[in-house]
Structure 1
């Protein structure tokens, strides 16, 4: 599922089903049937796999691809500089690039990192309603080290259930940025002394904010699992982050990357 800022309106979503690209916002308030057809096709090699690893990979690809390594989730564990990266060329193009350490408000204040080229897509993926950069770092590894230091003062995870129940309480991100910078001053000084004065740069961008195409928020958030129940049928009431919000439950579409599914409008019989 792809997304993009909506200008003066809500975030715009595109659902990718096979070769089709469907306007997700246009599906709101319609009765839909989403069905898992029983096959998972590895997003890397295309082979059929009984189980999805790391959002759409077969086990051999999960074991060999650098994009599936543990350091992607925990960038402070990057081992590219030790010469043991699974795919050094890929690491150069992905990890050895400028990254942002940011603050956002999705279910409350959180800290995170993303490649500089992925802002604001990363923030929209997480359902953030506002965000701003804190630092720019030379590499993903450095961003991970800064994030580890920041986690002592700011949460690093989104409470997805809270995020799907409505808009979070407002957060003054610019004030929080100054507070967090003050708390991290000694950590940043130590890192720049070790890695160079230009390794970590303060950023003063203004916060960005978004609204999401949600007509009704669920009172109770229950998650639908396609592996246990291959059919989800209900009225689509909203989209936020990577979640489709139905009147009968929510589903994390990213979790089912590479699943073979059918999406259709269903008919509700009167009476």
Structure 2
């Protein structure tokens, strides 16, 4: 099997285990069905912006050319710092995007990818967000009307619970033995009074299992900027990573790179 195209992020379905696909123009690569096979990824030396399609030498923020990185709402600082959302000030880069993306119901959640973390996502983006992060379990704790409010709660709770994932520990399945229901009970009183009406104390956790034959002892990142060809036995997939017997590659990181993939 051989496919050629510009890299797009992995897609997935919440099954047990999660079912992964790598999309290409002609067809999707069924990752789960190919575990144990030799996978070869050849970078063809061409990169295109995932938004405007212009040919570029390097990407910004996982696939953008510099003008799109500078101008598009998807790349604004408030995307990574949602508490700084400025839609209400009338300074959003793209008001239509803001309506679709930010002025929609959002979920504040707890998840375990390596240890407990707090995060936010659009209500319509569950459970995709959790799978993209490699979470083994996730639990909504609040539903709010917009992204800014979710970000404000997240920033406050990040004083008590981290909001980052250690990707190496996540891929090595070094998972903290924590009960999200107990964590939720512990932090309920830490939610500021003005947000208490959004709290949800009756939701149940979701769990996720990932397709993986084995995990390499050493997690070595494979980089298409340094290697024109990556080849190894496909062992699994988790979050946006493909796990090979000689390293791991973050597929989303190389969005827009033109590759030829052979199995």
- TM-score of the pair, normalised by structure 2: 0.93
1:94 matches 2:101: yes
Rounded Cα–Cα distance in structure 2 between residues aligned with 1:170 and 1:21 = 36
| 1:239 counterpart = 2:248 | no
Task: Indicate the residue corresponding to 1:223 in structure 2.
Answer: 221
By how many angstroms is 1:15 displaced?
0.4
Q: List structure 1 runs of 4+ shifted beyond 4 angstroms.
A: none
Could you say which residue in structure 1 is the equivalent of 2:72?
A: 65
Residues 213 and 239 in structure 1, CA contact (< 8 A), matched pair in contact too: yes
Distance in 1 separating the partners of 2:91 and 2:68: 17
Calculate the aligned-residue CA RMSD, in Å. 1.2
Task: Map Cα deviations across residues 110-167 of structure 1 (whole Å, 9 max, x no partner).
Answer: 1100000011110000000000101001100000000000000001011000011125
Select the residue among 179, 183, 194 that pairs with 1:176: 183
Aligned partner of 1:4 in structure 2 is 13
8 Å CA contact 1:135–1:202 kept in 2: the answer is yes
Distance across 2 between alignment mates of 1:96 and 1:140: 6
8 A contact 2:116–2:176 mirrored in 1? no
Report what 1:45 is aligned to. 52
| Alpha-carbon distance between aligned partners in 2 of 1:230 and 1:112, rounded to the nearest angstrom | 35
Identify if the C-alpha distance between structure 1 residues 209 and 215 changes in structure 2 by more than 3 Å, giving closer, same or farther.
Answer: same
Q: Using the TM superposition, give the Cα deviation of residue 54 of structure 1 relative to its aligned residue in structure 2, in angstroms.
A: 1.3
State whether structure 2 residue 39 is matched by structure 1 residue 32: yes
Per-residue deviation, 1:236: 0.6
Choose which of 119, 124, 149 in structure 2 pairs with 1:117: 124
Structure 1 residues without counterparts, runs of 5 or longer? 266-271
Higher relative contact order (CA 8 A, sep 6+): 2
Q: What is the rounded CA distance, in whole Å, between the counterparts of 1:131 and 1:27 in structure 2?
A: 28
> Contact 1:136–1:203 at 8 Å: present in 2 too?
no
Offset at residue 20 of structure 1 (A) = 2.3
| Aligned equivalents of 1:167, 1:30: Cα separation in 2 | 25
Where do 5+ consecutive residues of structure 2 fail to align?
1-9
Q: Where in structure 2 are the equivalents of 1:156-235 lying within 5 Å?
A: 156-166=163-173, 168-184=175-191, 187=192, 189-191=193-195, 200-235=198-233
Once the two structures are TM-superposed, the CA of residue 201 in structure 1 deviates from its matched residue by 4.1
Which residue of structure 1 lines up, in the alignment, with residue 151 of structure 2? 144
3-state DSSP of counterpart to 1:202: coil
SS of 2:79 mapped into structure 1: helix
Give, in whole Å, the separation in 2 of the partners of 1:40 and 1:253.
14
Distance 2:140 2:96 in 1: 27
* TM-score normalized by the length of structure 1: 0.91
What's 1:268 paired with?
none
Task: Provide the aligned length of Structure 1 versus Structure 2.
Answer: 254
